[in-house]
Amino acid sequence: MTLPHGQLVFEDVEAGQEVDALVKGPLGTMHLMRWSAAMENWHRIHYDRTFAQEHDKLPDILINGSLKQQFILQCLKDWAGRAGWVWKVGFQFRAMNLVDETLTVWARVKATRDVGPYGLVELELGIRNGAGTESTPGTATVALPHRGGAPVPYPFRAPA
């Protein structure tokens, strides 16, 4: 099976390389309400400003962590391409992001490791708002095919 046209391959990646950033927003109350409805989660701090501020003492409505994590996966998935695979991703919600912020998902290659049938890429990542404040630092491991090789196995099989 050949690789799709334009597929990123392991040999094209090196430490320090930046992943194409993914920008989302500004994320208003409509975006947050749409997300809450899609996942049927009615946590009031994501749409009820009075509750968020007066009950939970928050500065404003919060952008859902559960939404931010989707953006991280999208960024990595699109970078890995159809023949790659996002194997592991982890992140911490260290700072709040407030309604109406614009979020930028970034990632950078830290290390690479050839495991035979494919290569593994270790990344650091995060989400910054318009002020440049980091809210969601994390790491990921993405599997990429070799140039001229086969797509990463799907379903994914972890290396021995």
Interacting residues with other proteins (CB under 8 A):
24, 31, 34-35, 37-45, 48, 51, 55-57, 64-67, 69-71, 73-74, 77, 82-83, 85-93, 138, 151, 154-156
* 121-to-4, 13, 81, 89, 128 alpha-carbon distances in Å: 19, 8, 13, 12, 22
Helix (H, G, I), strand (E, B) or coil at 10: helix
Helix (H, G, I), strand (E, B) or coil at 135: coil
Q: Residue 40 or 131: which CB sits closer to other proteins?
A: 40
Shortest distance (Å) from residue 14 CB to other proteins: 24
Contact residues for 22 (Cβ-Cβ < 8 A; gap 6+): 71, 74, 75, 78, 104, 105
Shortest distance (Å) from residue 114 CB to other proteins: 21
Shortest distance (Å) from residue 138 CB to other proteins: 8
Q: Residue 17 or 66: which CB sits closer to other proteins?
A: 66
Q: Cα 159 from chain centroid?
A: 23
Q: Residue 112 or 139: which CB sits closer to other proteins?
A: 139
Residue carrying structure tokens 């409505």? 61
Shortest distance (Å) from residue 147 CB to other proteins: 18
Q: Residue 15 or 73: which CB sits closer to other proteins?
A: 73
